[in-house]
Amino acid sequence: MTQQAETKSQADIALIGLAVMGQNLILNMNDHGYTVVVFNRTTSKVDDFIANEAKGTNIIGAHSIEEMVAKLKRPRKIMMLVKAGAPVDELIDQIIPHLEKGDIIIDGGNSFFEDTARRVKYCESKGFLYVGTGVSGGEEGARHGPSIMPGGSPTAWPFVKDIFQAISAKVDGDTPCCEWVGENGAGHYVKMIHNGIEYGDMQLICEAYNIMKNGLEMDADEMHQVFAEWNKGELDSYLIEITRDILAKKDDDGLPLVDKILDTAGQKGTGKWTVLSSQELGIPITLIAEAVYSRCVSALKDERMKASKKLKGPRALIAGLTGKSGVNSQKNLEKKKKFVQDIHDALYASKIISYAQGYMLMRAAAKEYDWKLNYGGIALMWRGGCIIRSRFLGKIKEAFDGSKSFSKKSAKHELDNLLLDDYFHGEIKRCQKGWRNIVATAAKKGIPVPAFSTALAFYDQYRSAVLPANLLQAQRDYFGAHTYERIDKPRGEFFHTDWTGHGGDTSSSTYNA
């Protein structure tokens, strides 16, 4: 081979996995001037891709891992975009024999963060570096700029930084939605929280839609207008935008397509992992949990069909606010407009709670796993490219950066909770009346709003200096001698009472799960 030909075959990065996300990321890398060598287990896919989508680009095809590795510059960077779980471990073991010390394996799939932590350790023990990175934004994001959340071996970051930041989404001109997140599983953890929040945002939008549809009898076109309006204000986001567009989409017969879609939601597990982690760390992320469970309830379609015939409740129609109740007077139209604004406020306030809870969980995880998470930086990474991208995240960044939220005196304080930030608690105050009206009306009308109401319940619990857990502790001590602390004694002193007069004096050990 001539010197020139050899230089030409020196690729910057390899990518394994030619499903749509993989293909789009490769084309994105190529657009930014990187030479990518690609491989897929079914090698005919490589040939198809090179002959079609990649035609006329600098992308190189490889028919074996060995051939792929041989075409890479050192340290070699090999990115996998394959199904999470066992396929990732299998692929790592196939790649490793072809590597040299210091080479970097990258997992860009939705892997479980504990698997990533284990893989980092495994690869490092063999002298290689490992990056587990969240990549969000779906097909379009992968092609034109996703949000990228890398973590793993810190020494790998300088080698992948330029390429990752080049292909990522940009906000405020040229700020990349990609920064180093932290060690071991931190990148995939933050992506998992992103997905949990994504579940929450989607559920909130569905609840708003449900009240409009069943409580107000609004049709898809009317709701399309509402979401279009909402997208111009503080709810401006990708998910509101696509909801607006979904509501406008007609089926072949001219009727709204959304009305023909079966109401059973799927899920691939990242929402569930978020809830499991919250249980592990003892952090209430009640809204994301309700969002996951709501998908589970939706999947019980046959049971729900049967139950709908037997279990009775109030009529969902909100009298005086629907067209069908003969109320098109100016006064009633005003009332309806006000109610739709209340739905907006319920969604917005609940969304603030959801992000506050998500950040509480990240804070607890950072402590548990010894990560130094940059909370403002995470909001920035989520501002563009990803599924939860929104104007709102700009405000979260400001809150964590302290630029607007603290007086000069306390500017150095870390924000403990998003709800304590001046801007956000002001917003909650402004939306509270409408939020409570929606939760109360929905309860009276039998319209399920699990996420709106759990958010409100959390808000009321979180702002309570005193909760009824005194009684709960008494119950635990009564039946199991689990002991309690007293308000008139220092914390850490435990007491047991013989509640019945025939219990013993022995208390059970005091441990906290």
Using CB under 6 A, list all residues that contact ligand 6PG.
110, 136-138, 195, 198, 266-268, 270-271, 386-387
CB within 8 Å of 367: residues ≥ 6 apart: none
Instruction: Specify the residue, 222 or 241, whose C-beta has the smaller distance to ligand 6PG.
Output: 241
Q: Which is nearer to ligand 6PG, 184 or 195 (CB)?
A: 195
The conformation of residue 210, written as its DSSP 8-state character, comes to: H
- What does the alpha-carbon distance between residue 445 and residue 435 come to, in Å, rounded to a whole number? 15
Q: How far apart are CA 324 and CA 124, in angstroms?
A: 67
Is 142 in contact with 28 (CB distance < 8 Å)? yes
For residue 154, give the H/E element and its range: none
Closest distance to ligand 6PG from the beta carbon of 20 (Å): 12
Q: Considering the complex, what minimum distance in angstroms separates the CB of residue 387 from ligand 6PG?
A: 4
Which H or E element spans position 376?
helix 375-383
Considering the complex, state which of residue 111 and residue 214 has its C-beta at the smaller distance from ligand 6PG: 111
* 54 versus 387: smaller Cβ distance to ligand 6PG: 387
B/e letters for 437-473, b = 16+ CB within 10 Å, e = fewer, are bbbebbeebebbbbbbbbbbebbeebeeeeeeeeeeb
CB count in 10 Å sphere of residue 245: 13
Tell me the CA distances in angstroms from 148 to 132, 138, 179, 180, one per residue in order.
10, 12, 7, 9
Which entry of 45, 71, 77, 191 is annotated as an active-site residue?
191
| Beta-strand pair 170-171/175-176 | antiparallel
195 versus 277: smaller Cβ distance to ligand 6PG? 195
Nearer to ligand 6PG, 266 or 504 (CB): 266
- Catalytic residue list contains 198: yes
Chain centroid offset of residue 63 CA: 36
Nearest residue (CB) to ligand 6PG, 147 versus 405: 147
Residue 47 CB, nearest approach to ligand 6PG (Å): 28
E strand or H helix that includes residue 501: none
Question: In whole angstroms, what is the distance from residue 185 CA to residue 115 CA?
Answer: 8
Helix pair 186-210, 330-369: axis angle to 10 deg: 160
Longest dimension (CA), the chain: 95
**Between vectors from CA 201 to CA 200 and to CA 207, what angle results, nearest 5°?**
90
d(CA 436, CA 456): 8
CB 57 within 8 A of CB 175: no
Q: Give the shortest CB-88-to-ligand 6PG separation in angstroms.
A: 15
CB 24 within 8 A of CB 143: yes
Least separation in angstroms between residue 5's CB and ligand 6PG is 39
Taking CB atoms, the residue at the shortest distance from ligand 6PG is 136
d(CA 147, CA 136): 5
Active site residue 268: no
Task: Give min distance, CB of 321 to ligand 6PG, in A.
Answer: 33
Q: What are phi and psi of 213, to 5 degrees?
A: -70, -50
Least distance from C-beta 137 to ligand 6PG, angstroms?
A: 5
φ and ψ of 422, to 5 deg: -55, -45
Amino acid, single-letter form, for residue 496:
H
For tokens 């990752």, what's the residue? 164
| Minimum gap (Å) between residue 288 Cβ and ligand 6PG | 12
Instruction: Choose the catalytic residue: 198, 207, 290, 427.
Output: 198
**Residue number, 261 or 469, with CB nearest to ligand 6PG:** 261
- How far apart, in whole angstroms, are the C-alpha atoms of residue 43 and residue 52? 14
Shortest separation between residue 41's beta carbon and ligand 6PG, angstroms: 21
By beta-carbon proximity to ligand 6PG, the closer residue of 147 and 357 is 147
DSSP conformation class of 502? S
Closer to ligand 6PG by CB, 63 or 268: give it. 268
Q: Measured from the CB of residue 268, what is the shortest distance to ligand 6PG in angstroms?
A: 4
The residues annotated as belonging to the active site are 191, 198
